[in-house]
Structure 1
Amino acid sequence: MQLCADDPMTNVFVAARVQEGGLGFGTTLLGVEEAHRLKSMCWVSANVVPVACDDDALDLFAARLKRQRRRVSSVFGDAEQVLGLWDRLQRHWGEPRSLRPDQPMMAVRTSPAADGLALDPRVRRARLDEVDLVLPASAAMFTEEIGYPPYVGSDRDYRGLVGSLIRAGHTFVIVEDGRVLFKADIGSLAGGVAQIQGVWVAPDARGQGIAAPAMGAVVQQVMDQVAPVVTLYVNGYNEPALRAYRRAGFVQVGRFATVIL
């Protein structure tokens, strides 16, 4: 946690997983020590996430990871570290489904309301009895973003994930006429940072100016009730999303990269 705290916005995913006690079956946390102090880490589960890695640490982690391709669905995090790790792993793991080397990491650290930004009053936390409404929106967002659906056959496990986010108060929605028009989740929460993921607007509601005030309302509620800093990362080629996030008060503070396998 101390190592993650050196850069809490970049490292919130790993910090949140450690804080939640996520070192369970199928998860490994690799570390490099120097002078009896943890210098670098690499979270290894379905996702591989490097933390505070220099070239020497990336060499060591790649040597351990090169035979674990079948377990991993993505590598993501700070762009320099992820791309450096991928350079070392690609010849062992083969071509990815998608390589996204430029994902602006953005943050809000001042209140959107105080800055006079538009906030959509319809945004609220999802209720647990709305899982059946939220689940198709979550699945649609995942499929659009990743390129394949989050489940095949039974939706039980995915429904459990959606329900756990709602139960924690981490899913924000606009619901009208019995359907979700907008959705966003707190995906990771640690060290005073809340990282937003799963942002989605219903296809027939896009292009109508919903996203920016809805995101502004999410940020305001998160800052008021959950964490003082709100972050997210977005594909650099997604200009509509970038414009909406900027209008909601987000500014770029770093660069992420994602390798989807």
Structure 2
Amino acid sequence: MTQTTTRVLEPSDLDAALAILESEPVANAFVTSRVQVAGLDPWRLGGEMWGWYADGRLRSLCYSGANLVPICAGPEAVRAFADRARRAGRRCSSIVGPADPTALLWRHLEPSWGPAREVRPQQPLMVTESPSADVVPDPLVRRIRKDETEALMPACVAMFTEEVGVSPLAGDGGLLYQARVAELIGAGRSFARIDDGKVVFKAEIGAATPQACQIQGVWVAPEHRGKGLSETGMAAVLRYALADVAPIVSLYVNDYNTPARKAYRRVGFREVGAFMSVLF
């Protein structure tokens, strides 16, 4: 009979954890990028990494921080992670990850953690290794400089509020969110087109590893929508990402956002799976 156990991983478990994370470089890009920088120390990582063991071997992970993220987790591991999360109580603002294990995790947790503010059960995961020749990158989309942070912030806040449904300025007055925006700008992973001092398109490379990176925060100013800026802007960001960051670029999008899915396909992305998000 298989013996299983679950525990919080320690810095000495780093190699084993990275082996699991890097087995699915696209799906795990967000957590992998954090672990590669911060290791497994909870303070530096911003949360705990739980490990599920079968017969003494580490098989699955679950990141428990601002997000709860199941990683390479089958039904038994998901059940064990749900039991641990239930005992600890909800500390995260969302559950997010590959659709199947995330859906199962939510089914286990909903009776004690629910109701959620919103559930997005199917968010297509899209990837590309090369840009489409059909869309010419917008030459005015460029990296944002540190001295342009203040000019970019209103667009970032508008995007977040539109996408998540709450303002990132709530709670701590936006200090954490502003720090994250500044971090991405400082890393050279924030891009925008600014016309007459106003952002008309923006996007970031939010997670980055040597194997894969993930574009996030795509936004077009409302008065400029329908002009193809999302396609030409994304083509420009994709060019930067493939040249400077990683050989595989990914993103995930809400299934009901048909215009965005069509635009991303035109730029060269294809759907390879699905994520799910539970927002609190």
Contact kept, 8 Å, 2:52 with 2:59, in 1: the verdict is: yes
Give the drift of 1:47: 0.1
Alignment of 1:10-159 (within 5 A): 10-21=27-38, 23-25=41-43, 27-112=47-132, 115-152=133-170, 154-159=173-178
Give the aligned partner of residue 7 of structure 1.
24
For 2:99, give the aligned amino acid: A
The 2-side partners of 1:81 and 1:66 are apart by 16
* TM-score for the superposition, normalised by structure 2: 0.89
Among residues 232, 243, 254, which one is paired with 1:213 in the alignment? 232
Give the drift of 1:30: 0.5
Give the drift of 1:142: 0.6
Contact kept, 8 Å, 2:98 with 2:276, in 1: the verdict is: yes
Change (3 A) 1:253 1:16: same
The 2-side partners of 1:168 and 1:7 are apart by 24
Structure 2 residue ranges without an equivalent (≥5): 1-17
The 2-side partners of 1:210 and 1:102 are apart by 25
Contact kept, 8 Å, 1:15 with 1:191, in 2: the verdict is: no
Counterpart secondary structure, 2:256:
coil
The 2-side partners of 1:154 and 1:257 are apart by 28
The 2-side partners of 1:198 and 1:137 are apart by 10
Cα deviation code 1:12-53 (max 9, x no counterpart): 111011112064335111001234432000000010000111
Give the aligned partner of residue 196 of structure 1.
215
Deviates more, 1:69-78 or 1:53-62: 69-78
For 1:41, give the aligned amino acid: L
Give the drift of 1:191: 4.0
Give the aligned partner of residue 178 of structure 1.
197
Contact kept, 8 Å, 1:5 with 1:191, in 2: the verdict is: no
State the percentage of identical aligned residues: 42
Q: Which has the higher contact order (CA 8 A, sep 6+)?
A: 1
Give the aligned partner of residue 167 of structure 1.
186
Cα deviation code 1:51-74 (max 9, x no counterpart): 111111011100000144441100
Alignment of 1:208-247 (within 5 A): 208-247=227-266
Structure 1 residue ranges without an equivalent (≥5): none
For 1:143, give the aligned amino acid: T
Give the drift of 1:116: 4.5
For 1:91, give the aligned amino acid: P
Counterpart secondary structure, 1:131:
helix
The 2-side partners of 1:51 and 1:70 are apart by 18
